[in-house]
Amino acid sequence: MTLTSLRLVKEILAKHGIRPSKGLGQNFLIDRGAIRKLVAASSIQSNDTILEIGPGIGTLTQELAQLAKKVISVEKDAKMIEILRETLSEFKNIEIIHGDALKSNYKLPATNYKLVSNLPYYITAPTIRKFLEASKAKPYSMTLIVQKEVAQRICAKPPKMSILAASVQVYATPKIISYIKKTAFWPKPKVDAAILQITPFPQPYSIDFPKFFTVVKAGFKQPRKQLVNNLSAGFGLSREKTEQWLCSNDIEPARRAETLSVQDWINLTNTL
């Protein structure tokens, strides 16, 4: 069953009386080449456990199940669960879970697993944050289809940093594998997509993470303002004290937040 066939996708949905939900970010991947790139980038081994969020009708799920030891697919839409039980019936190594991937208390693999998904765009940032911040059962890697612009923002370097970029890069190394045209999806979204791979550090930074994010958010409070002004206001410090704090970390007070590296933010956190 070739689930990248637009005709077949429409037939399956019509059979179940379903229309793609904008609210659930349902844009089905109908480009086999894009799926192959995503799967290849995931480097799936025969003993791997794969977690997939938002499997839809099971297009990507089928490809993952042919390579991995086990696939755990979490789907929020109850109607899609019915379809998945049909399209994935021949596979014995797939566990289908009906629930919200961001809220459900489903059990994650105790050992390293890989997160591979064509993510609904509206849950991109919270999904990445959830799994990067997991104290236990953190994925070995995340290979995701996300909006092109979001992928570029996550991978940005100074002088184009953002809160999102710093929030990901303090935990992991992000990399854009390739881009995908919006015509590879149905219904066609408004923007192009990207295959984004995020690899968490084997040993995370030894820092106070809540404090780190407090400092970063204060620095980016008004992105066009100088750091000395944002940090002074954010922490109730005098301008002189703030300038000393910045200069002690070799950061010019007149710089803007987007010009700082993750290491700069770590240094500021450790010296606050």
Distance CA 80, CA 84 (A): 6
Angle (CA) 106-108-111 rounded to 5° is: 165
27 is in an annotated binding site: yes
For residue 50, the surrounding DSSP H or E stretch is: strand 49-53
Structure tokens at 46: 């025969």
From residue 179, how far is each of 147, 174, 198, 237, 244 by CA, in Å? 9, 14, 15, 44, 44
112 is in an annotated binding site: no
31 is in an annotated binding site: no
Structure tokens at 269: 């956190």
From residue 106, how far is each of 81, 100, 258 by CA, in Å? 16, 9, 37
Structure tokens at 78: 């109850």
Token look-up 């997509």 returns 193
**Does the N-terminal peptide bond of residue 202 adopt cis geometry, omega within 30 degrees of 0?**
no
11 is in an annotated binding site: no
Neighbours of 270 (CB within 10 A): 15
Residue type, 184: A
75 is in an annotated binding site: yes
48 is in an annotated binding site: no
5-23: b (≥16 Cβ within 10 Å) or e: eeebbeebbeeeebebeee
Whether the CB-CB separation of 231 and 256 falls below 8 Å is answered with no
Going by the DSSP 8-state scheme, the letter that residue 262 receives in this structure is H
Structure tokens at 30: 């109908």
Binding residues for S-adenosyl-L-methionine: 27, 29, 54, 75, 100, 118
Binding residues: 27, 29, 54, 75, 100, 118
